[in-house]
Amino acid sequence: MPSSATERTESRGDSTRKKIVVGVTGGIAAYKACQVIRDFTKRGADVTVVPTPNALHFVGSATFEALSGNPVTTSVFEHVDEVRHVELGQDADLVVIVPATADFISRLAHGRADDLLTATCLVATCPVVVAPAMHTEMWKNEAVQRNISLLREDGLCVIEPAIGRLTGPDSGAGRLPDPRQIVDLALARLDGVTFHRNLAGIRLLVSAGGTREDLDPVRFIGNRSSGKQGFALAEIAAQRGAQVTVVAAATDELPDPLTATMVHVRSAHQLKEAMEEYLPGMDVVIMAAAVADYRPANESDTKVKKGSKGEESLQTLSMVENPDILKELVAHHDHQIMVGFAAETGDESHTPLEHGLAKAKRKGCDFLMCNEVGRDKTFGADSNGGWLIAKDGTYQELPAASKYVVAGEILDAVAQLVPRHLQV
Ligand code: CTP
């Protein structure tokens, strides 16, 4: 088990051919582990699956072997000559338990080594990520929560379960998150993002995605923002204990961040209203949304038809300026730590950083994350990079890395400004 001291074992970088042990335990969500295994292998990892004997009631070894391309061992008494648990634990760059049942969590929290998977976890010195899935009553049970706390104290990363439909007709907290979210968070951990609870008790508001300004019921003016950076900020902040509210404009059909309160909006105007409504109860506000600077002067209630009188309005768009939401929030904020973004292409006279530094002065927020953007750069991509500019104009370069790594670095900077009395 890794200790907090060994938490930051990996530096930035890719996960190519990293060795990942995927532990599968005996819950109905075991079938979702198949997608997690597939995604890890697609992203270049060398995956070895270690199912508990009970997991094999749900998914067979043949499936795990086919998906991972590696043999599956389930018992310490198989391949005894190879001492599998020691070999697997020592070689792993990352261990991910998906799904983790209440029983497995209890055994792991208490240092048991009564099957191959727990024994492997005890040997592993790499980061261990645990994705619990169980019924709401079990998840909320005090003994289970006590065990979860023990795992976190020991430096393991526990992914908060999602709220939603469970095995039966009921729904609640305890659902295994979307496999893509598990993979993203686990790879973030592999890339060195820590999930220490330094934002516990902090109320964080983040806007994400791109606003859409309607011309008529079928047409709109939008932008290339995918929402990935805003959602990554929400995910990492929630993992670090923050209570997160996300105001989401259009996103690329991304799954909602886990455990965040979601407010879905469309236009810049709606985004402004939502941000203003939630601002007073917050400690940190991050404007990651790409907001339209202009909207059509007139919106038609019916489709503008070719050859109709209104056609002219589409040929020559008349636009009016939208408010600068961030600037207004900064003007009216109270104690909140304010963070903005700058999407810059640079031009013949100024570099993206120069534009970013000027924008930081104009916006007046505590931090401005300046990104270089382009048709295929940053917008929609899984990676990001740039300069995190502080209020006094000093800046820190953030080399290109996954949006989760960048989120972790922005939140590290934010955490340093959070007054101690707000943290629990
Ligand atoms: N923003 C905002 N309201 C707007 C436009 C932008 O709140 N009407 C916020 C964005 O969410 C981001 C920051 O301001 O946090 C900078 O956005 P960006 O699009 O980079 O810059 P603009 O303010 O639009 O300035 P310019 O068009 O000159 O680059």
pLDDT in tens, 141-153: 999 999 999 999 9
Q: Structural domain of residue 29, as residue ranges?
A: 19-191
Euclidean distance between the first and the last CA atom of the chain, given in angstroms as a whole number: 25
Residue 40 in contact with ligand 1 by CB distance below 6 A: no
> Do residue 172 and residue 119 come from a single domain?
yes
323 is in an annotated binding site: yes
Residue 422 domain-assigned (yes or no):
no
CA of 335 to the centre of ligand 1 (A): 22
CA of 290 to the centre of ligand 1 (A): 7
- Determine the residue type at 420: R
Mean pLDDT of 247-256: 92
> Do residue 182 and residue 268 come from a single domain?
no
Residue 124 domain-assigned (yes or no):
yes
pLDDT of residue 80: 78
Mean pLDDT of 39-61: 97
> Do residue 209 and residue 105 come from a single domain?
no
Residue 342 in contact with ligand 1 by CB distance below 6 A: yes
pLDDT of residue 421: 66
> Do residue 77 and residue 216 come from a single domain?
no
Mean pLDDT of 179-185: 95
> In which residue are the tokens 């240092």 written?
111
CA of 211 to the centre of ligand 1 (A): 12
More confident site: 306 or 65: 65
Answer whether residue 73 shows pLDDT above 60: yes
Strand blocks (E) in 209-350: 213-214, 220-221, 243-248, 261-264, 284-287, 294-296, 319-321, 337-344
pLDDT band at 424 (very low <50, low <70, confident <90, very high): low
37 is in an annotated binding site: no
Query: Can you tell me which atom of ligand 1 is nearest the CA of 268?
Result: 8
Residue 10 domain-assigned (yes or no):
no
pLDDT band at 12 (very low <50, low <70, confident <90, very high): very low
326 is in an annotated binding site: yes
How many domains in the chain? 2
Residue 230 in contact with ligand 1 by CB distance below 6 A: no
CATH number at residue 295: 3.40.50.10300
What's the whole-model pTM score? 0.90
Question: 286-333, pLDDT tens digit by residue?
Answer: 999 999 999 999 999 999 988 887 788 778 889 999 999 999 999 999
pLDDT of residue 7: 40
pLDDT of residue 48: 97
What distance in Å separates the CA atoms of residue 274 and residue 216, rounded to the nearest whole number? 23
> Do residue 181 and residue 216 come from a single domain?
no
Residue 1, judged by CB atoms within 10 A of its CB (0-12, 13-18, 19+), counts as: middle
pLDDT of residue 1: 46
Residue 79 domain-assigned (yes or no):
yes
Answer whether residue 4 shows pLDDT above 70: no
Query: Can you tell me which atom of ligand 1 is nearest the CA of 326?
Result: 7
Q: Residue 162 in contact with residue 133, Cβ under 8 Å? A: no
Angle formed at CA 360 by CA 358 and CA 361, multiple of 5 degrees: 65
> Do residue 94 and residue 163 come from a single domain?
yes
Mean pLDDT of 16-20: 86
> Do residue 408 and residue 325 come from a single domain?
yes
pLDDT of residue 15: 44
| DSSP string covering 25-53 | -SSTTHHHHHHHHHHHHHTT-EEEEEE-G
For residue 298, indicate whether it is catalytic: no
Look up residue 210 and give its DSSP letter. Answer: B
Residue 289 in contact with ligand 1 by CB distance below 6 A: yes
Residue 13 domain-assigned (yes or no):
no
CA of 324 to the centre of ligand 1 (A): 7
> Do residue 121 and residue 212 come from a single domain?
no
324 is in an annotated binding site: yes
pLDDT of residue 86: 87
